[in-house]
């Protein structure tokens, strides 16, 4: 593919050049903006430090949203599944926020 198929997006103050078909450019830019917004929310909370950790938390949150939206409105997920997802997110958040190797700066 040529460089004319390349799209530059900015995520958390860093630029990424991504090769993408012309018909998918708009979707890619929208996805990058959405991801950037989620990562900025997490960074501004002050609970997670480091771009890689912020990216993992954003990925977990976006995945959780996706799975929640895929549920049919007339069918509720079992409460134990919801509890498991909440517990997992809480444990990841706690592990990342209490990591002794992470320092603010």
Using one digit for the tens of pLDDT, what is the confidence trace for 60-88? 999 998 888 866 554 455 666 777 777 66
Contact criterion met (CB below 8 Å) for 9 and 29: yes
Sole residue written with tokens 């860093």: 14
Instruction: Show me where the domains of the chain are located.
Output: 3-97
Average pLDDT, the chain: 81
| Cα(55)–Cα(33) distance, integer angstroms | 14
Q: 3-97 adopts what CATH topology?
A: Double Stranded RNA Binding Domain (3.30.160)
Q: Say which residue, 57 or 89, is predicted with more confidence.
A: 57
Contact criterion met (CB below 8 Å) for 27 and 9: no
What are the pLDDT digits (tens) for 18-39? 999 999 999 999 999 999 999 9
């Amino acid at each position: 593919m040529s460089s004319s198929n390349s799209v530059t997006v900015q995520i958390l103050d860093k630029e990424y050049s991504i090769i993408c078909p012309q018909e998918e450019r708009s979707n890619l830019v929208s996805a990058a903006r959405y991801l950037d917004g989620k990562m900025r929310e997490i960074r501004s909370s002050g609970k997670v430090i480091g771009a890689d950790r912020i990216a993992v938390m954003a990925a977990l949150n976006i995945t959780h949203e996706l799975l929640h939206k895929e549920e049919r409105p007339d069918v509720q997920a079992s409460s134990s599944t919801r509890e498991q997802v909440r517990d997992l997110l809480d444990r990841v958040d706690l592990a990342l926020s209490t990591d002794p190797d992470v320092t603010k700066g």
